Amino acid sequence: MIEAIVCIAMAIGTFFVVLGAVGLIRLPDVYSRLHATTKSSTLGLAGMLIASAVLFGAQGYNVGPELLTILFVFLTNPVGGHMIARSAYLIGIPLSELSVMDAMQRAGEHADQAHDQQ
Amino acid sequence: MIETVAQVCLIALGLSMLPAIYRIVQGPSVADRVIATDALVTAIMAIVILVSLTRNTREYMEAVMAMAILGFFGTVALAKYLVKGRAID
Amino acid sequence: MWGLVVASLLPFVGAALLPFLSKSRGDNCGWIASGFIVASFAAVAISTPAVLHQPGAIAFEWVPSLGLQFSIAADGLSLAFAFLITGVGSIVFTFAAAYLGPEENRRRFFCYLLIFAGAMLGVVFAANLISMFVFWELTSVSSFLLIGFWHERDASRGGALKALVITAGGGLAMLVGFILIGSIVGSYEIADIMAAREQIAAHRWATAAAMLIMLGAITKSAQFPFHSWLPSAMEAPTPVSAYLHAATMVKAGLYLVARMGPVLSLIPIWTPTLTVLGIVTMTWGSFLALRQTDLKALLAFSTISQLGLIMAMFAQNTASAATAGVFHMLNHGLFKGALFLMVGVIEHEAHTRDLTKLASLRSNMPRLFAVLVLASLSMAGIPPMGGFISKELFLEEVLQMPWPLTVIAVLGACLTVGYCLVLAIGLGLTHQDEAERKHAHDAPTALLWGPAVLVFGALLLGLVPTFLAGGLIESAAAAAIGGHVPHPHLTMFHLSPTLIVSVAAISAGAAVFRFGWMRRTPDAPKLVADRVYEAWLTGLEHNAQRLTASYMSGLLWRYVTIIVCVGIISMSALAVFVGFDASAPWGARPAQTFEYVVALIPIAAAIGAVVAPTRLAAILALGASGFSLALLFSLVGAPDLALTQIMVETVSVALFLSAFVHLPAYRKLKPRKFQPLYAAVSIAFGVGVTALLHHARGQRVGGTIADYFVENSVEKAGGHNIVNVILVDFRGLDTLGEISVLGIAALTCYALIKLRPERKRP
Amino acid sequence: MIARSVILTTCARIAYPVLLLFAVALYWRGHNAPGGGFIAGLLTAAAIALRFIAHGRRDRSGASAPFITAIGVGLAIALTTAFGSLAFGHAFFTHTFGHFHLPLIGDVELATAALFDLGVYIVVVGNVITVVSAMTDREPGED
């Protein structure tokens, strides 16, 4: 039973990490690739860690480190992704032509308009 | 059972590092390279976890934890560097 | 014996305590220093009778593994020198205490002088070649400090440098000679060396060792090819010239020749070379002395010639020659010291040392003039002074030499008489243009009694030599030839052919003086040896600067290329000479399939770093290769290493970025065309390193050191993490070194950045 | 442009204590498990650098003064442990270890090697931060 859970968790984990890697190539511009790596890799890692937690938990080890790592990954990866996206936009890396709307720009205009009106 | 699945996953993870390297070398902008490095680090962490699973040792947990916490250090530093021209002001 | 140990240690103790003992302005440190040297003289005097009839030795372990000991041994020879060092030393110290003006830095002066005295005693009492060498170099260093005492003057700095370069160079050659002999005999103790004389003489290195040691002696005693440093050492204050460059230091070479005489004279080349050198130096020195106008230079050249004489005597290694050598050495120490001190007085009073400008001494410095005449008579070898007897002994020896040497020696003797008369009578006569000459009042008694005592000693040696120093001379001569010496009978009155020769020499000398031949060339041409020395020195500096400029081009990549190329050359040299064995198995264990892919990643990342268009891309690619390396570490089972690698990668990103603040920020590096040279160099280096590692794996002899650590890690150090235990416990010293390097690196970096010249950052 | 991102500062405020705790833990168990002074030092340095990145350095002048003294203090600790063994009559640099019962923590095994490791730890932290702060100090009158 334990083995089954570990295998499933491992498989899911690997699947998402590989998915992230594939996204890295296939997606057109920085911002979309960003989603792939941060989101799916984090999920993939979580899967891995759960597998390890289950396996070692069953053997009676203290699984604190695994859970702590999951927490860390969930804390840091999104922040990293956010910072990169923000700075990419600020230094003006162009969106790919496929993108439909540039939300940041319109929000920026609103902010400027609100600013002018005061 | 675990052994075989782990082997397959390891090969898959190994292969998944290649696109990251491709993006690092090729990546049009620095931001791509940063993301690719992040992806690479995550893949490395996954492999280390799997290896420690197959070898049934818990020694590598420190390394994995460290990578988890500090993986984003480089990203954040570079992000700030790109915008501000200096990472620590 | 312990008296001598105390005697040789006293000056060092004095030098150490001087700053604390002397009053704030240090004006009484002269007397304190003289106290120490006089005490040391007393210690030598007290222990002389005990040592004379049974010379002993005391050894202190210094470096037992190398067989080096600080051993003190004393016999007649070393005692004769010790008397000279401490006796003349006491007088020079007291003279200097009165002579040095208030503005001089007296504390420093007497400190150096005490160190020198201690070092000289060390040389003389050393019974181990290496400890003798240590003190030998200490004398060179203290002489450098003393010559350059008035360091604000270029001349004294130049003189000090020249003295050091020549004497230290000779000292180095001598050290090589000592090591050769030490390796032949197997020990550095002089006693063992004396015992193994035949073995040394027969050995194939014998000639080389003899020549090297001779080089050390002739440079120190300013013999013919290396005499140029002594005249330029006259820039030192006069007491220093009197003490170092007349009485003691230049005699260290003579001591070496005398001490090593019994051993080295068996080597065929030793005696003839030294004799010829000695005689030639004697004549050439006296010839040059005649032509000087500066009193001190005249005395300097006369010292060179007298040393040549004594060197020739010690080189014969016969009983009579050794006696003559020792006796003349004592005489020379006394009268030359007196003469130098008197020149100091003259300069002190009349503010000039130039013969032509000095008014006749007879009228304004009568007492000093009397002492001066006595001293020059002794130097010229005219009765009743001691110099006469030692001149007689010298002439006896010279007559037995092959005739060309005899002729040169007699010529030298006659020239010596010439310049002594110049000194004595030339100064004393009244000259026509008396008026504008410098008139000086008579020397104060405080400065006069020193030279008077020395000259009185020389007179005593002349009148009652056997009584005063008979025993000392006999035992010294015996030590000098390593055999037995019949009791020397030194009498003033004896009739022998040498008497006729010396009378002839004196009259010829008087003629030379009377008719003023070869005398007084105001602008004495620079010595040939000086010109050679200066040319050599400037050439050396010039080429050194050119060489450094050639590879220090300021370009970083050039430095790296040089380093890498040197690496490649050494590795290929290793492969050629030691041979490359590829027997070691390639992998520690069979690799799993995914590891092949994982192994590719760092390679790809490294290539990425090379072709990266911008700096940022380069450091990211480097980061990637670093992390994949950490993965490899974990695969082969090294969690500590992986952890460290991860940390290092993270911190280096921070460091790179903070460094980039100072580099032009985000500029694209100019697209560099493919540089075949650098590619080749780096590939060669990479291949070289891998081959080296692989070769090293093949060289494993016996178990790896890991077994030791595995066994002892837990009980000995109480730690299960062997890597950390090694780092902190077993190899703690290395870590201590590493963290101090880390600290220093950080401080230097901080200093460099903070002290940058404030140029506007681009 | 917002100079500083709020998300980053909050995340840094959370991560900073965790990192420090992790570093001290790594240091403390260094003797028996992977870890040690060097790694902990680097980790603390990274934590401080992260704090610099997120919050910027508070005071300009003398920012690196405490870290320079840290190098000195670290070296001093290392040297005292090295020479300490002389005081007890052993050869230079011999470490001892023993089991002590500390009131609060219970039975624990203390080793002088850990003290030496502490010296290493402090030097490493001092080193990295001195260099980083030296390089990123703003010359007066700069933007």
pLDDT in tens, B50-88: 999 888 888 888 889 988 888 888 888 888 888 887 777
pLDDT in tens, C469-505: 777 777 777 777 777 777 666 666 666 777 777 788 7
Which of C176-185, C597-606, C729-738 is the least confident region? C729-738
Q: What is the pLDDT of residue C428?
A: 62
End-to-end CA distance of chain D: 16
Can you tell me the mean pLDDT for C130-153? 89
Q: Do B2 and A6 touch (CB under 8 A)?
A: yes
- Residue by residue, DSSP assigns C562-610 as HHHHHHHHHHHHHHHHH-----S-S-SSPPPHHHHHHHHHHHHHHHHHH
Which of A67-81, A101-115, C475-489 is the least confident region? A101-115
pLDDT in tens, D40-85: 999 999 999 888 888 877 655 555 678 888 899 999 998 888 887 7
C411 burial type by CB count under 10 A (0-12 exposed, 13-18 middle, 19+ buried): middle
Q: If you count residue pairs, one on C and one on D, with CB atoms under 8 Å apart, how many are there?
A: 153
Q: What is the pLDDT of residue A7?
A: 92
Per-residue confidence band for D1, with pLDDT thresholds at 50, 70 and 90: very low
Can you tell me the mean pLDDT for B27-40? 88
Q: Which residues in chain B have their CB less than 8 angstroms from residue A74's CB? A: none
The CA distance from C364 to A53, in Å, is 110
pLDDT in tens, C306-365: 888 888 888 888 888 888 888 888 888 888 888 888 888 888 777 777 776 666 666 777
C704 burial type by CB count under 10 A (0-12 exposed, 13-18 middle, 19+ buried): exposed
CB atoms within 10 A of CB C634: 24
Q: What is the pLDDT of residue C177?
A: 92
Residue C172 pLDDT greater than 90, yes or no: yes
Which H helix or E strand runs over D48?
A: helix D37-55
Which of A103-112, C661-670, D98-107 is the least confident region? C661-670
C732 lies within 8 A of chain B by CB:
no
Q: Do A76 and D5 touch (CB under 8 A)?
A: no
Residue D20 C-alpha, separation from nearest chain B C-alpha, in angstroms:
11
The CA distance from D60 to D143, in Å, is 13
pLDDT in tens, C59-112: 777 777 776 777 788 878 888 888 888 888 888 888 888 887 777 778 888 888
Side-chain-facing half-sphere of A97: CA atoms under 13 Å: 0
Residue A111 C-alpha, separation from nearest chain D C-alpha, in angstroms:
12
Q: What is the pLDDT of residue C759?
A: 54
Percent of chain C with pLDDT over 90: 7
Highest mean pLDDT among A94-108, C453-467, C731-745: C731-745
Residue C614's contacts (CB-CB under 8 Å, 6 or more residues apart) are B30, C666, C667, C668, C669
- Start-end of H helices in C482-555: 497-515, 528-551
Q: What is the pLDDT of residue A10?
A: 92
Residue A16 C-alpha, separation from nearest chain D C-alpha, in angstroms:
25
Can you tell me the mean pLDDT for B4-11? 90
ipTM of the complex, rounded to two decimals: 0.89
The CA distance from C108 to A90, in Å, is 70
Which H helix or E strand runs over C57?
A: strand C57-63
Could you say which DSSP state residue C761 is in?
Answer: P
- Closest C-alpha to D108, from D37, D43, D29, D46: D29
The two beta strands, D106-111 and C68-73, are unpaired
pLDDT in tens, C585-622: 776 677 777 788 888 889 999 888 888 888 888 888 99
Question: Distances in Å between the alpha carbon of C155 and those of C158, C602, C703?
Answer: 5, 64, 64
Q: Taken in order C99, C101, C104, C105, is the CA torsion positive or negative?
A: positive
B80 lies within 8 A of chain D by CB:
yes
Q: What is the pLDDT of residue D143?
A: 46
Q: Give me the phi and psi of B21, to 5 degrees please.
A: -65, -40
pLDDT in tens, C272-308: 888 888 888 888 888 888 877 788 888 888 888 888 8
Higher pLDDT, C717 or C752: C752
The CA distance from A45 to A19, in Å, is 12
User: In D19-52, which positions are buried (b, 16+ CB within 10 angstroms) versus exposed (e)?
Assistant: bbebbebbbbbbbbbbbbbbbbbbbbbbbbbbbb
Q: What is the pLDDT of residue B40?
A: 92
The CA distance from D131 to C565, in Å, is 30
The CA distance from C492 to C464, in Å, is 8
Nearest to A90 among D1, D7, D18 (CB): D1
Per the document, the length of chain B is: 89
Beta carbons of C88 and C13 less than 8 angstroms apart? no
Residue C520 pLDDT greater than 60, yes or no: no
Q: Is the peptide bond before C757 cis (omega within 30 degrees of 0)?
A: no
Q: What is the pLDDT of residue C701?
A: 67
The CA distance from C163 to C111, in Å, is 20
Q: What is the pLDDT of residue C438?
A: 58
Q: Do D5 and A72 touch (CB under 8 A)?
A: no
Side chain identity at D125, as an amino acid letter? V
Higher pLDDT, C742 or C419: C742
SS3 C204: coil
Q: What is the pLDDT of residue C171?
A: 92
- Closest C-alpha to B3, from C210, D126, C592: C592
Nearest CA in chain C to D34: C640
Q: Which residues in chain C have their CB less than 8 angstroms from residue B6's CB? A: none
Side chain identity at A117, as an amino acid letter? Q
Per-residue confidence band for C669, with pLDDT thresholds at 50, 70 and 90: low
Per-residue confidence band for C247, with pLDDT thresholds at 50, 70 and 90: confident
Q: What is the pLDDT of residue A64?
A: 87
Q: Do C621 and B25 touch (CB under 8 A)?
A: yes
Nearest CA in chain D to B73: D50
Q: Do B88 and C635 touch (CB under 8 A)?
A: no
Nearest CA in chain D to B63: D34
Side chain identity at C95, as an amino acid letter? F
pLDDT in tens, C200-218: 888 888 888 889 999 999 8
Higher pLDDT, C498 or A115: C498
Can you tell me the mean pLDDT for C375-392? 79
Q: Do D7 and A82 touch (CB under 8 A)?
A: yes
Q: What is the pLDDT of residue D141?
A: 47
Higher pLDDT, D23 or D59: D23
Q: Do B33 and C650 touch (CB under 8 A)?
A: no
Q: Taken in order B30, B36, B42, B45, is the CA torsion positive or negative?
A: negative
Residue C390 pLDDT greater than 70, yes or no: yes
What mean pLDDT, rounded, does chain C reach?
81
Highest mean pLDDT among A95-104, A106-115, C681-690: C681-690
Beta carbons of C392 and C327 less than 8 angstroms apart? no
Any idea where the domains of chain B sit in the sequence? 2-84
Residue C561 C-alpha, separation from nearest chain D C-alpha, in angstroms:
27
Chains that touch B (3 or more CB pairs under 8 A): A, C, D
Which H helix or E strand runs over C71?
A: strand C68-73
